[in-house]
Structure 1
Amino acid sequence: MSAALGQDALAQEFVQFSVESGVLRFGEFKTKAGRLSPYFFNAGLFDDGAKLGRLAQFYARRILASAIRFDMIFGPAYKGIPLAAAVAIELARAGRNVPYAYNRKEAKDHGEGGNLVGAPVKGRVLVVDDVMSAGTAARESIAIIQAAGATPHAVAIALDRQEKATENGQDVDHSAVQYVRDQLGLQVCAIAKLSDLLAYLQAQGGAELGQHYAGVLAYRERYGVD
C-alpha cells in the first residue's frame, strides 16, 4: 500500500505490517486504565525471528530519521530486552554501531553482580520500549540510568496511542508520551501514532478493515490528545 500525500509512509508501512502480523487487532479490549478500546497493540506477538527482525528495522529507520543524538541503547526488562538487542543489530547494519544494555528485575548477587547487563551505561542513553501507558516504565528506566551515572536522553516506542493518561483513576489532559517529553525532559520518537492508524483505516474504505475506522475515531475523539 502506498501512503497518500501528506501521510507518513514509514508509519503507514508499519501499521500494515502490525495488522498483517496479528499484533494490531480490532474488537473490544480493556486497557490498563479501564477503558474499552476498539483496538489492541500487543508487541509481544512479534514472536518469531522474521517479525522481530522487521520490527527492529522500523525502529532503526525511525530513530535514524529522528536525528536524536545518543551514545547507547537501554532495554528495560522485560519487553525492552529483545527490542534493544534487535534494534542495536539493525542500527549497526545501517552504519550506526552503538552499545546496548538492559536491566534485570532482581539484582544478581554472584558473578559480576548488580542489575545491569551488557555494555557500561554511560553517555546519552536511548531507551527502547514498545508503548507507553502511564510513563511509569520510563521513570524506572530514568532512575536506573541516572544511578549508573549516565544521562537518560530519549525514548523510542513502536506506537503512540495519543490518549489521555490517568492519575489516581482520573483522566488527565496529557498523554504518557507528553508527560515523558514535557515533564521528564526526554525526547520521544514513535514509529507510528494513533493518527497514522486512523489514516490507514480510512484508506481501506469499505473493506473489512475500514469498518473499524468509525469506532477508532470515536475513541480518539473521547480520549485523544495531539
Structure 2
Amino acid sequence: MALLSMALFGSRARGDDGAGSDVDILLITQEAKPRMVSTNRMSFSFYPASWLLDKATKGDLFVLHLVREGKVIYDERGDFASMSKAFRLRKSYGENVEQASSLGRFLVRYGVRFEDTVALNKRIAWCVRTILIARAAEAGNAIFSAKALAAFAGSNSVEELIKNKDSLEIDNSRVRDFAGFLDRWGESNASDAWQPHRYLEHFRATGNELALRTYFVGIESANAEYF
C-alpha cells in the first residue's frame, strides 16, 4: 500500500475533543476502494486519491469535513491539497437531509425497542449532525462541532442529542427532542405511522445504506412482535 497523504480530522483536529474522543486519521492511498480500521479509540480511514477527488468536485459532506478541518500530517505528492482545491459546495444537500430524516423517523417510531441502545443513540446523533451539517452547508457554512451545530440550530437539545451518542440508556425525553428536531429541520416523505416493511421499501428505493443496516440490526435484536 502506497501512502500518499495523512491527516488528522474530527474533534481532535477541531480542538473540541474530550477524554473519550476517538483519534480520526485519514490515509490517502492508491487502494481500489475505501475501508476503515478501528482499534482502541483509533480510527483509520483509508481512501483512494481518485475517490476523494471525485467526491470533492461533487461537494460531498465527508470531504467538506476533511478540507475544512483536517490537519495535514503528510502530503508529499499534494493529494490532500488537490482534493481541497477541487472541492465545491453544492447548492442543495437534499439527498443527505432526506436520508438522515427518513432514518430518524424510523428511529422515533421503532428505536425504543432496540436492544443495542448505544447503536440507537449513535444513529440519532448521526442523523442530527448530518441534517445540520447539510443545512449549514446549504447556507455556505462549514460547521461540525456539537456546540457550533447547536448554536446554528438555536437549540440546546441539539448538543445533548449529539453528546448522548455513547449513552447506554434510551432516554424518552431525548427521543421526544429528536422528534421535534426532525419536525423543525428534517425533510422526508417517510411517516412516523409507517409499518416496518414500508420503511424497508423506502430505504431500498432511496439507496439509504446506513438506514438499511440499522433496520436489519433492529430486526435481529428486537422481540418477535416488534416486526
TM-score (norm 1): 0.27
TM-score (norm 2): 0.27
Greater share of helix residues, 1 or 2? 2
Greater share of strand residues, 1 or 2? 1
